[in-house]
Amino acid sequence: MPNHIGARKLAMAFTVRLLLFSSLFLLPVSVFAQTNGSIAVGDFLTATAANSSPWLSPSGDFAFGFSPLGSNDLFLLSIWYAKIPNRTVVWYPLRDNEAAVAPKGSTLNLTANSGLVLKSPQGDDLWKSGTSGVANGVLNDTGNFVLQDRNSESLWETFNNPTDTLLPGQTIGRSRQLSSRQSETNYSKGRFQLLLQEDGNLVISTINLPTNFANSPYYATDTTSGTVAGSEGKELVFNASGYLYVLRENGGKYNLAVGEAVSARDNYIRATLNFDGIFAQYYHPKNFTGNVSWTLRWSDPDDICQSITEDSGVGVCGYNSICTLKGDKRPTCGCPTGFSLLDPNDPYRGCKPDFIQGCEEDELSRTKDLYDVEVLTNTDWPISDFVQLKPFTAEKCNESCFQDCLCAVAIFRSETCWKKKLPLSNGRVDTSLNSLAFIKVRKDISTLTGAPQPPCPDDKKKKSQTTVIRAESVLLGTSIFVNFILGAALCLGFVLIFRKKHVRSAEIVLDSNLRSFSYEELQEATNGFTEELGRGAFGVVYKGVLQIGSVVQVAVKKLNYVMQEIEKEFKTELNVIGQTHHKNLVRLIGYCDEGQQRLLVYELLSNGTLASFLFTDIKPSWRQRIEIAYGVARGLLYLHEECSTQIIHCDIKPQNILLDDYYTARISDFGLAKLLMMNQSRTHTAIRGTKGYVAPEWFRNMPITTKVDVYSFGVVLLEIICCRRSVDVENNCEEKAILTDWVYDCYLQGELDAVVDYEVQALGDKTTLEKFVMVAIWCIQEDPSLRPNMKKVIQMLEGVVEVKVPPCPSPFARTCIDESFVSQV
C-alpha cells in the first residue's frame, strides 16, 4: 500500500513538473497571438502625431495606418515598409480617383457591417471598404491586409485592390490595373495606367483625366492569342521569389524582367508604376546599416520621351515642354526660352508661353519687330506641325516661320522644314535627329505677363529693334540673316492681308483696332445665328467663323437694344474698349452698327466659362483655382487703373470669365455695361449685374465706382475657393445657402477646412487659404469705403501687403450682431 501511495505521489509530481515545463512553450505562443497581425472588430486608429501607432504584420516588416503628409494636419491611410527609414508606401485607397487623405483627428475603424471605415473628425465617411460579415482583419507578412469572415475566408484584401505597386505573391487578372500617382507626393490618380486587357495583352497607356479613357498603349507585351492557341496572357504574376511575368493560358510565361531575380529572402522587392509612366522593379536589403536606398533592377519603357507618340497622348511632360531622359531612365521636364511652368510645383504639367502670339495680336501691334529667335539642337515636337516644306534650307525655314503668324516653332532636318503651332506636343531631346529648332520668342514679354500695362490709347510706340537670332550651336555651319528682309516681308504680309477679298468690307475705325462688319457678314459667319453659346442681360452670344487673314473662330454677341441718339457715344466707347490689350481680357475684334442691329465680335476661347469649370462634380485643382483668381484680379486692375479711360465692368461673375487653351482667366464683356449705360445719371443708374454679385450701393442711390467690381470680385473669389455658387437655393442647409454669410461664419469659428470641403490640396496650403478668405471678406464689405481697390487686393493676395483681420461685412446681419454682443459681454 505505501508503495502505491509513493508511486502516485511520484506520478503527480512528474505531472506538475511536465505542466510547468509545457507552460514555458505556451507563453510565447500566447504572446505571438497578440502580435500575429490580427485586428479585432472594434479596433481603430487615430490620425494624430501623438497617437499614430500603426497595425503591424507579425514580422514587423509592414505597417498599416496613417502616414503624415508634409505636416501634422493631413494624413494618408496606407501600407508601408515599417523597417525602412524613408517611408515607402505600397498601398493606399482611392475614392473617385482621389487618395483617401484624412485631416488630423480622423479615425479608421474596423466594423463588422462595413469593414474598414475612414471617418473625418466631423463623422463624415471619407472612405470604406464596403464589406459585411467581417470577423477580423489580418495584416500578413506579404504586405496584404485581409478582411476575414468567421471561417477565416477572405472577404476583401488590398492585393485585389492595388493602386500603383505590386508585391511578391500578388497577381493581377484580366481587366485589373495599376494606376500611377499624380506626382511623387500627390497620391491621387495620375495619368498612367497598367492594364491586363481582356485579350491577354499587358499594356501601359496614358489616360485622359478626369475620365478613364485610355489612349493607345506606349508599352505592350503582345501576349495575345497570335498564331499559337492559348498564348494569350491569363494574369500578371509577381511570385514569392521575386519573378515578374505574364502567365499564358497554355502555362507558358512571358518574363518582363530578364536575368536572375534578387533574393526575396534577403531583400524587400516591389514593382511600381511610377508617376512619370515608368514601370519598374526595385529591391532593398532587409539587413542594412546607414543610409541605403532602393536599387533599380528593371524598368520599361527604355525611353519614355520617345515612346509616347501621337496616338499615345500628350507626353509625360505635358504641352509646350521638353522631355530629357536621365541616366536612371527617368524623364526630366523643362520649358524652352519664353515659356514657364503651368505649375511651379509640378514640372510634369507642362509649360505656357509668357507672351501672347497670334495673327490678331501680331497684326494689331504697333511694333512690327516683335520676335527674337532661340535655336535649339536635336529638339523636336514631332506631332505639332501644320505644314512641311521640302527642299528647304535652314535660313529659309527660319524665315518662313518668322513671317507666319501661326508658326511658333520650325524644325529643320535633312533639307526639310516642319512648321509647328501652339500648343506643342510630345517635346523631346533626341541626339540622333541632327536637327535645328527655331523658336519664336516675343521680345517685350514684360508687357504681357502681369506686369503693369501702359495706358491703352496713349502708350508710346516702342523703338523698332533688329531681330536677333541666338544660335549657339548651329549644326550646318551657316549664318542666319533676317534683318531688313524680314521687316520688309512682315510689312508686305500685312498689306496683303488687308487687301484680301475676305475683308474688303471691313473698315478700321479711327484711332481703334476694331473692325466694322456688315450684318450680312456676321449672319453668314454664324450660319444664320444658329449655334448659341450663351445669353445674358445684354444679349445672346453665337458661335461663328470669320476669315480675317486666316480662319478665326469668334463669339458674336447680338445686343438687345441701343438707342439711336447715342450712336456717337457708342462708337467713342468702342474705340476705348478696342484699344485695351491684356492677357486677362477677352479681345474684342469688331462690331456692327447697321440700322437697328448692334453686334460685338469677340475671340472665341476654347475652355468655356469659369462657371462651367467650377460648378461640376469634378473639382479643379487648388493650384489652378489660385492662378485663375490672380488672373481675374489682374484683369480688373488693368480696367480700373491702367487704361487712360477707366472702365467699370459692372457684371463680374463666373459666366463672364472665360478660360483659354491654358486655363488662363480672361474677363469678357468688360466695358459693355458702361457702354450701354451712357447719358445716365451717376447716382440714378439702373441696376446692372446679377443676383448674388451686386454691390449694395446699387440699391442705395450711391455713386457707382470701381468698388462695385471689387465687391463682385470678392464673391467670385469665394466661389473659386469653395467651388460652389454664391446662392445655392437647393442646399438643404439654410445656413449654407448664402455663400458670403456661411464663409464668414466658418471664418469666425476657425472652420476653414469645411469651406473647402476638407480638400487635401487646399488644406495643405492653409496659409494661402486663410489669406484668400480674408481678402474676399474685405472685398464684400457693405461700406464701399472699407473695400480695398484692386491694386491693394493683388498686393494682399501676393503677400506684398499684410492682410489684417476683416470686420463683419454686413454690420446689421444676425451673425455680426451676435458677434458684437458676445464681444461686449
Q: Comparing C-alpha atoms, which of 262, 252, 232, 242 is closest to residue 170?
A: 242
Q: What are the pLDDT digits (tens) for 325-377?
A: 887 789 999 999 889 898 888 889 899 888 877 777 676 665 567 888 889 99
Label residue 76 exposed, middle or buried (CB < 10 Å: 0-12, 13-18, 19+).
Answer: buried
* CA quadruple 132, 134, 139, 140: dihedral sign: negative
H/E element, 299: strand 295-300
Q: What is the pLDDT of residue 379?
A: 92
Q: What is the pLDDT of residue 31?
A: 31
Q: What is the pLDDT of residue 825?
A: 36
Q: What 3-state class would DSSP assign to 86?
A: coil
C-alpha cell at 734: 439654410
Low-confidence ranges of the chain (pLDDT < 70): 1-36, 49-52, 71-72, 227, 361, 363-368, 444-513, 536-538, 549, 561-573, 576, 644, 671-691, 729-734, 811-825
Q: What is the pLDDT of residue 476?
A: 36
DSSP states of 257-293 = S-SPPPPTTTEEEEEEE-TTS-EEEEEEESS--SS--
Q: What is the pLDDT of residue 641?
A: 85
Q: Comparing C-alpha atoms, which of 798, 777, 782, 651 is closest to residue 712?
A: 651
Q: What is the pLDDT of residue 20?
A: 43
Q: How far apart are CA 410 and CA 811, in angstroms?
A: 61
Q: What 3-state class would DSSP assign to 341?
A: strand
Q: What is the pLDDT of residue 313?
A: 80
Q: What is the pLDDT of residue 84?
A: 92
- Please tell me whether the peptide bond between 210 and the residue prior to it is cis, using omega within 30 degrees of 0: yes
Catalytic pick among 346, 372, 380, 651: 651
- Binding-site residues, please? 558
Cβ neighbours of residue 814 closer than 8 Å, sequence gap 6 or more = none
Q: Could you give the count of Cα atoms lying within 13 Å of 221 in the half-sphere of its Cβ? A: 29
Q: What are the pLDDT digits (tens) for 213-224?
A: 888 899 999 888
Q: What is the pLDDT of residue 651?
A: 85
Q: What is the pLDDT of residue 734?
A: 66
Q: What is the pLDDT of residue 567?
A: 58
Q: What is the pLDDT of residue 331?
A: 92
Q: Are 649 and 639 in contact (CB under 8 A)?
A: yes
> Among all chains, which residue has been given the C-alpha cell 499684410?
802
Domains of the chain: 38-160 (2.90.10.10), 162-301 (2.90.10.10), 352-498 (3.50.4.10), 501-603 (3.30.200.20), 610-822 (1.10.510.10)
Is 651 known to be catalytic?
A: yes
Q: How far apart are CA 275 and CA 189, in angstroms?
A: 9
Q: What is the pLDDT of residue 491?
A: 44
- Binding-site residues for ATP, please? 558
Sheet bearing 145-148, strands edge to edge: 38-40, 136-139, 145-148, 154-157
Q: What is the pLDDT of residue 217?
A: 92
Q: What is the pLDDT of residue 269?
A: 95
Query: Looking at this protein, which amino acid is placed at residue 554?
Result: V
Q: What is the pLDDT of residue 392?
A: 92
Q: What is the pLDDT of residue 702?
A: 78
Cβ neighbours of residue 413 closer than 8 Å, sequence gap 6 or more = 433, 434, 435, 436
Q: What is the pLDDT of residue 475?
A: 37
